[in-house]
Amino acid sequence: MIKKILNSAYGKKSVLWLKDNKPVVLSVIFLGIIADPIFITGNSDIRIFGILGLYITAVFFYKLKSGLTFVFGLVLLGIMYIEFLFTGTSPATEKAAVWLYLFLAIGIIQKLRE
């Protein structure tokens, strides 16, 4: 079924669009991750694992290196630090810590595969 969709004209155009717009796709994923601890209240496993699944798919689709994952982990560490300075141990700080942990784990797994 998926091969049939990807071999259709619409599927080929979608894949070409994704390949041509790598910075846009990665920016949307990263903005979604950054927005989660800063702007979105409440926890949702569906949101966390959905965005994480999109990032893992992007790792395979774009053949991303582990360095990018670690750099984004550093960005999340900075967000966690700033959140901790302003709000102490709050739910936003904890969500940033969860994202940091997940990205460090993904980066380690990527590094082992390289």
Task: Write out pLDDT tens, residues 44-64.
Answer: 788 888 999 999 999 988 888
Q: Is 8 part of any domain?
A: no
Q: How confident is the model at residue 108 (pLDDT cuts 50, 70, 90)?
A: very high
Domain annotation covers residue 14: no
- 10-48 pLDDT per residue, tens: 667 777 777 788 888 889 999 988 888 888 887 778 888
For residue 2, being part of any structural domain is answered with no
- Which structural domain range is residue 33 located in? 22-113
The domain tally of the chain equals 1
Determine the pLDDT at residue 47: 87
Instruction: Report pLDDT for 111.
Output: 93
* Contact (Cβ atoms closer than 8 angstroms) between residue 67 and residue 47: no
Provide the 8-state DSSP code for 42: S
pTM value?
A: 0.81
Radius of gyration from C-alpha coordinates of the chain:
16
CB 53 within 8 A of CB 33: no
Distance (Å, rounded) from C-alpha 97 to C-alpha 102? 9
| 102 touches 52 (CB < 8 A) | yes
Tell me if 83 is assigned to some domain: yes
